């Protein structure tokens, strides 16, 4: 029954996606890469949410909440502010220039080599880190939910590979052969299912805690575990509160405002009004995200008495314990949709970057739209296969959420830096952007993978000699004091990069100032309520932090 429900819901999504997209001209660049620039607010919002929400976040953030409490909600709540900034400041500029990819803007603003370097950084991050992690963590979740090893009579390792290849092949069909509109339509349908299924877990969990009464369950949680319900993280928490004002906002701005995999949904908007409404709708719903990706972790801490050896086991174990049997197939299908969403969205963005910024730019400048799309699809197939081969090599998916955020800093902050400087200055030359990209990547790698391990190991050895490590909390405090948080390092490098670029711009300014040209591909009249809604969203976020402080 569970498997039938899973197959039925998955097929319904596929059929609706096909019906909705069969009239789109996928042989054109805009048709394949941007859904024919026809996406409306609801589709954009649903796709943004599902592209962002996947198993590494649902499992990882709930695991962090299980261990550290409510403070990890910053990954959700602060995202709302970043999305507001994107809707007001970045999206109007993107649509005015009629760009298909973020690196395309960098070509217009700086030069072709800057665009190529940026595209290569995006693709490297997607292939080496993001795609394999999505496949691996998603396979772990589905394999555990359906108990695939027992179902197929195979080992856990074999079951994992079966799930990885199953997810990878289905996701590839959506992303490679359907284009962005197929991805976006399927995302918007799955978004509804994920919101319903995701909210059911904390509801059933609170009913379990409160003997059938949700409010009583919430009261028991807050009364018995008050330390878990503090919005401001301590120095030893995954996200200390002060980092909100250093690197956290930069990470959020990069992700929601410049990351190709995300912003591509808004670039496909039929006009600026629809794009702004879609982003702000997603922003408002994002505020409710902690109900799905944080609260279950807090419930699991109470239900399992904090005895789980690995916090990342919290969510899957809670789902098994509280979800009625009839709902398991539906929820697995929704979770499958979330996994596919992240996988096919990253894959579609990779195909876009390769087709537009590498193949047409450097391999065949005279290629027709149809040929660019064709070779983009071939590249996508190769990329998907590589990800499916790499994914089983990842040994520990549970701890990957924080690690993923740290590793992404290698390219996220340098790219954000040159985009910010590119938009808000007119005379900074291309050489400054290249230097900013290279030095930003090199310095971050040097900091996090060479200096940090050295200083942390040195501090731990000194603490052991002095007998200062008496508990896990003491160990965590020593590590936290030994070296700045990776979000602080991001903020420092962001500021240094901007200073260096501005100095170069002063010494070697462009002879002709940069001015963005309006391509008139879509109407860029802003939504008249954009400022009112944005202020309301910002006030809600502040109120949440004050309430839980």
Question: What's the pLDDT tens digit per position in 40-70?
Answer: 888 888 778 777 777 777 877 888 888 888 9
Q: Is the pLDDT of residue 175 over 60?
A: no
pLDDT of residue 11: 65
In a domain? residue 31: no
- Looking at the structure, tell me whether residues 419 and 525 fall in a common domain: no
In a domain? residue 25: no
Q: Is the pLDDT of residue 395 over 90?
A: no
CA dist., res. 102 & res. 257, Å (int): 10
Half-sphere exposure of 129 (CA within 13 A, CB side): 18
Give 26 or 168, the one with higher predicted confidence.
168
- Looking at the structure, tell me whether residues 460 and 337 fall in a common domain: no
**What does the mean pLDDT of the chain come to?**
81
Question: What's the pLDDT tens digit per position in 427-475?
Answer: 999 999 999 999 999 999 999 989 998 888 888 888 777 776 666 666 7
In a domain? residue 32: no
Q: What is the pTM of this model?
A: 0.81
Question: What's the pLDDT tens digit per position in 206-242?
Answer: 999 999 899 999 999 999 998 888 888 877 788 888 8
- Looking at the structure, tell me whether residues 255 and 321 fall in a common domain: yes
Task: Give the confidence band of 398 by pLDDT, cuts at 50, 70, 90.
Answer: very low
In a domain? residue 28: no
Domain that holds residue 310: 2-15+39-232+240-398+519-548
Q: Compute CA distances 226 → 69, 222, 298, whole Å.
A: 10, 5, 11
- Looking at the structure, tell me whether residues 381 and 495 fall in a common domain: no
SS3 content of the chain, % helix, strand, coil (to 5): 80, 0, 20
The distance from CA 292 to its chain's CA centroid, rounded to whole angstroms, is 15
Q: Is the pLDDT of residue 379 over 80?
A: yes
Region 248-260: what's the mean pLDDT?
Answer: 89
- Looking at the structure, tell me whether residues 464 and 448 fall in a common domain: yes
User: How many structural domains comprise the chain?
Assistant: 2
Q: Please give the structure tokens belonging to residue 471.
A: 């508990």
Backbone angles phi, psi at 332, to 5 degrees: -65, -40
Tokens 């290569």, located at residue: 120
- Looking at the structure, tell me whether residues 299 and 414 fall in a common domain: no
pLDDT of residue 33: 45
Q: Compute CA distances 139 → 143, 146, 377, 391, whole Å.
A: 6, 11, 24, 10
pLDDT of residue 5: 59
33: nearest Cα among 179, 185, 184: 179
The distance from CA 163 to its chain's CA centroid, rounded to whole angstroms, is 22
In a domain? residue 531: yes
- Looking at the structure, tell me whether residues 330 and 201 fall in a common domain: yes
- Looking at the structure, tell me whether residues 381 and 420 fall in a common domain: no
Q: Which string of DSSP letters, residue by residue, matches 473-515?
A: HHHHHHHHHHS--HHHHHHHHHHHHHHHHHHHHHHS--SS---
pLDDT of residue 32: 45
pLDDT of residue 282: 92
The distance from CA 389 to its chain's CA centroid, rounded to whole angstroms, is 22
Contact 354, 176 (CB under 8 A): no
Contact 114, 106 (CB under 8 A): yes
Sequence-distant (≥ 6) Cβ neighbours of residue 222 within 8 angstroms: 229
In a domain? residue 274: yes
CA dist., res. 415 & res. 420, Å (int): 9
- Looking at the structure, tell me whether residues 431 and 324 fall in a common domain: no
In a domain? residue 539: yes
- Looking at the structure, tell me whether residues 441 and 318 fall in a common domain: no
- Looking at the structure, tell me whether residues 508 and 528 fall in a common domain: no
Task: Give the confidence band of 178 by pLDDT, cuts at 50, 70, 90.
Answer: low
Give 475 or 493, the one with higher predicted confidence.
493
Point out which residues pair with 523 in neighbouring strands: 271
In a domain? residue 529: yes
- Looking at the structure, tell me whether residues 357 and 447 fall in a common domain: no
Region 507-526: what's the mean pLDDT?
Answer: 87
**CATH number of the domain residue 268 falls in:** 1.20.1730.10
């Amino acid at each position: 029954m569970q498997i039938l429900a899973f197959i039925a819901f998955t097929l319904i999504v596929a059929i609706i996606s096909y019906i909705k997209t069969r009239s789109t001209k996928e042989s054109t660049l805009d048709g394949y890469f941007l859904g024919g620039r026809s996406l409306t607010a609801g589709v954009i919002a649903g796709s943004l949410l599902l592209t962002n929400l996947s198993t590494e976040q649902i499992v990882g953030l709930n695991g962090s909440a299980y261990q550290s409490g409510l403070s990890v909600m910053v990954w959700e709540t602060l995202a709302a502010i970043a999305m507001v900034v994107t809707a007001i400041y970045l999206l109007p500029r993107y649509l005015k220039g009629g760009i298909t990819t973020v690196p395309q803007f960098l070509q217009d603003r700086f030069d072709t080599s800057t665009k190529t370097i940026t595209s290569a950084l995006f693709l490297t991050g997607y292939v080496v880190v993001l795609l394999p992690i999505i496949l691996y963590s998603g396979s772990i979740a589905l394999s555990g939910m359906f108990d695939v090893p027992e179902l197929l009579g195979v080992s856990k390792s074999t079951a994992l590979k079966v799930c990885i290849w199953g997810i990878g092949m289905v996701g590839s069909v959506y992303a490679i052969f359907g284009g962005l509109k197929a991805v976006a339509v399927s995302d918007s349908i799955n978004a509804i299912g994920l919101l319903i299924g995701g909210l059911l877990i904390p509801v059933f969990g609170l009913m379990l805690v409160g003997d059938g009464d949700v409010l009583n369950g919430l009261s028991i949680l807050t009364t018995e575990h008050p330390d878990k319900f503090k919005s401001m993280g301590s120095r030893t928490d995954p996200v200390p509160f002060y980092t909100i004002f250093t690197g956290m906002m930069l990470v959020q701005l990069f992700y929601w405002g410049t990351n190709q995999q995300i912003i591509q949904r808004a670039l496909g908007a039929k006009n600026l009004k629809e794009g702004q409404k879609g982003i702000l709708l997603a922003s408002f719903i994002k505020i409710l995200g902690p109900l799905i990706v944080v609260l279950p972790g807090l419930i699991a801490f109470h239900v399992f008495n904090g005895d789980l050896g690995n916090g990342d086991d919290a969510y899957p174990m809670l789902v098994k314990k509280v979800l009625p049997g009839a709902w398991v197939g539906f929820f697995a299908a929704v979770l499958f949709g979330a996994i596919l969403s992240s996988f096919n969205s990253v894959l579609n963005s990779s195909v876009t970057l390769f087709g537009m910024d590498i193949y047409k730019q450097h391999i065949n400048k005279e290629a027709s739209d149809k040929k660019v799309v064709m070779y983009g699809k071939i590249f996508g197939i190769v990329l998907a296969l590589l990800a499916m081969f790499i994914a089983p090599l990842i040994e520990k998916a549970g701890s990957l959420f924080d690690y993923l955020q740290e590793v992404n800093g290698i390219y996220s902050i340098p790219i954000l830096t040159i985009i910010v400087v590119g938009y808000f200055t007119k005379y900074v030359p291309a050489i400054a952007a290249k230097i900013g990209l290279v030095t930003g990547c090199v310095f971050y790698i040097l900091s996090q993978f060479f200096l940090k391990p050295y200083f942390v190991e040195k501090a731990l050895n000194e603490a052991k000699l002095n007998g200062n490590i008496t508990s896990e909390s003491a160990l965590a405090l020593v590590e936290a004091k030994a070296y700045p948080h990776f979000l602080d390092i991001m903020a420092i490098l962001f500021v240094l990069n901007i200073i260096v670029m501005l100095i170069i711009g002063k010494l070697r300014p462009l002879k002709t100032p940069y001015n963005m040209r309006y391509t008139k591909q879509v109407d860029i009249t802003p939504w008249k309520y954009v400022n009112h809604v944005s202020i309301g969203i910002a006030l809600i976020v502040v109120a949440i932090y004050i309430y839980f402080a």
